[in-house]
Chains A and B, each alone.
Chain A
């Protein structure tokens, strides 16, 4: 199993450009999520999905779109990049959605380091 893969590893954009960060997992996990990591702020949830065709907003969704057409893939789209979106982006997956009775191990991808000029 490759686990969770992300592409690209690094990306530089100009303000206003759009792009898609790719995320794929081969563990047949239902739950997938996107986080951004900024210095001193930990990981903040952008969007998540509990299964194909179902997505929802996290803590910081503005400026990002997601879709989940298959179980394996969960791309994150930046509509019009801004310098405030400079960050490291992590995709994660787990077998099921964290809930009141517990969660499951979340597996993180290697991350995409994005710089917006």
Chain B
């Protein structure tokens, strides 16, 4: 079955440092979604990528979808304490949506 792997599992950074999480699928994806979950909260939708090689930006966040539509990344520039949480990717392949295990980001002020 479709597997979505996400690395790293944890990332601890100093405030102001950059952060990247990577998502890899064993199969070609139709599209990929990214979510953020704050500690004790619920997942909140961030963005969806559909096209091969697509790059989207939201302020300090940059999302990329690989040319082969099998991998994706989320990059945060100059992290802030408000960025703390777990970031999940979710790969979609025809009615089948699989979440990665998430990357838990902690930021030291």
* Residues of A in contact with B (beta carbons under 8 Å apart): 35, 40-45, 59, 90, 92, 97-103, 105-111
Q: Give Cα distance in the complex from A95 to B48, angstroms.
A: 15
Q: Is the CB of B9 within 8 A of A40?
A: yes
B98 at the interface (CB under 8 A from A): yes
Nearest-CB residue, chain A, relative to B93: A100
Q: Give Cα distance in the complex from A44 to B9, angstroms.
A: 17
Total of A-B residue pairs, C-beta within 8 Å: 59
Q: Is the CB of A99 within 8 A of B95?
A: yes
Q: Which 4 A-B pairs have the closest CB atoms?
A: A42-B99, A108-B42, A43-B99, A42-B101
Known: A42-B6, A42-B88, A103-B33. A98 touches B101 (CB 8 A): no
Nearest-CB residue, chain B, relative to A111: B42
Nearest-CB residue, chain B, relative to A104: B48
Which of the residues A90, A97, A100, A102 comes within 8 Å of B48, measured between beta carbons? A102
Q: Give Cα distance in the complex from A105 to B30, angstroms.
A: 15
Q: Is the CB of A102 within 8 A of B30?
A: yes
B55 at the interface (CB under 8 A from A): no
Q: Is the CB of B95 within 8 A of A45?
A: no
B84 at the interface (CB under 8 A from A): no
Q: Is the CB of B100 within 8 A of A109?
A: no
Please name all residues of chain A whose beta carbon is closer than 8 Å to the beta carbon of B94 when the two chains form the complex.
Answer: 99-100
Of A43, A45, A59, most buried by chain B (CB within 10 Å of CB) is A43
Nearest-CB residue, chain B, relative to A106: B45
Q: What's the minimum C-beta distance from A105 to chain B, rounded to whole angstroms? A: 5
Please name all residues of chain A whose beta carbon is closer than 8 Å to the beta carbon of B98 when the two chains form the complex.
Answer: 45, 59
Q: What's the minimum C-beta distance from A25 to chain B, rounded to whole angstroms? A: 13
Beta-carbon contacts under 8 Å, B1-52 to A: 1, 6, 9, 30-31, 33, 41-45, 48, 50
Q: Give Cα distance in the complex from A97 to B41, angstroms.
A: 24
Q: Is the CB of A101 within 8 A of B9?
A: no
Q: Is the CB of B95 within 8 A of A41?
A: no
Q: Is the CB of A101 within 8 A of B43?
A: no
Q: Is the CB of B97 within 8 A of A103?
A: yes
Nearest-CB residue, chain B, relative to A108: B42
